[in-house]
Amino acid sequence: MPRKALGRGLEALIPKTETGVESTGITQAPIESISPGRLQPRKNFDEKTLKDLAASIKEQGIILPLIVQRKDNGYELIAGERRWRAAQMAGLTRIPVMVKEFSDAQALEVGLIENIQREDLNPIEEASVYRRLIDDFNLTQENLSKKIGKDRSSIANYLRLLKLPRMIKEDLIQGTLSMGHARALLSIESTEKCLEVRNIVVKKWLNVRETESLVNKLNKAKKAPLKKTKDIFLADVENKMQKSLGTRVRIVKQKKGGKIEISYFSLEELNRIINRIS
């Protein structure tokens, strides 16, 4: 099933000039005059897909202009870093850009929307951007949900990923584990246990359903009542009585006092025990 598009596209985030975002149109900019965006949400770029894109750009050129804003003597990239990197690999010296002016919040939001709509962010990158939007721009999850057209519960699930151990976050970045695996592992409270289960999942190539089953078994075992360890003194007395009487003896401790249970397995054995006691 294709991923549901966000409620707002880039057009909604790059309004006309009367809304306060300055636009100076499309121009051909020297590629060396463009620097990566400070607020670019994406941190990992797959080398193979970049090479494929570079080959396409060398053949067809860049069809969709990059979005930039003026900075110092050049431009800062707002959206289109993959195309910018691939264009460099393809040997282009000038590329088409759409020049706009953004606040930090708008720049971050545009970068986020572009990457999410193209499914270019890994889960940790996406979660990190949500966290940054919330913290830096004083948004609630509900505000953010309305702003980017994504369910609040989905945003909450992404934010929870940031609580995972570093190794599991690396798995999500590399694609070793999926979002479904991560959600299952989040229900394990102990970091040590979480990593133990992660190792089993990776080693045995467990799918999401198998991982959920494994985690459920672990959590049920944790909730099971622990057997009480018998008082060391009573255990010693119990052992001595068993040796003396030659049969099984069980001492049961209660709130006040307790009871002694002596087992016998025939009338003859009962008489022997009585004689021994008397």
The domain locations on the chain are 15-121, 178-223, 232-277
Of 76, 81, 114, 126, catalytic: 81
pLDDT band at 42 (very low <50, low <70, confident <90, very high): low
Q: Which of 207, 209, 160 is nearest to 188 (CA)?
A: 160
**What is the overall mean pLDDT for the chain?**
82
User: What count of other Cβ atoms lies within 10 Å of the Cβ of residue 26?
Assistant: 12
The predicted structure's pLDDT at residue 268: 85
Q: In CATH terms, is domain 15-121 a member of 3.90.226.10? A: no
pTM for this model (two decimals): 0.58
Q: Is the pLDDT of residue 264 over 80?
A: yes
Q: Is residue 81 annotated as a catalytic residue, yes or no?
A: yes
Q: Which of 64, 183, 184, 173 is nearest to 120 (CA)?
A: 173
- For Cα atoms 112, 117, 118, give the angle at the middle one, nearest 5 degrees: 100
User: What count of other Cβ atoms lies within 10 Å of the Cβ of residue 91?
Assistant: 10
Please give the Cα distance from 26 to 30 (Å, whole number). 13
pLDDT tens by residue, 168-191 = 999 999 899 999 999 999 999 899
Q: What is the CA radius of gyration of the chain?
A: 33
Could you tell me which residues come within 8 angstroms of residue 154 by beta carbon, excluding any fewer than 6 positions away? none
Please give the Cα distance from 200 to 185 (Å, whole number). 12
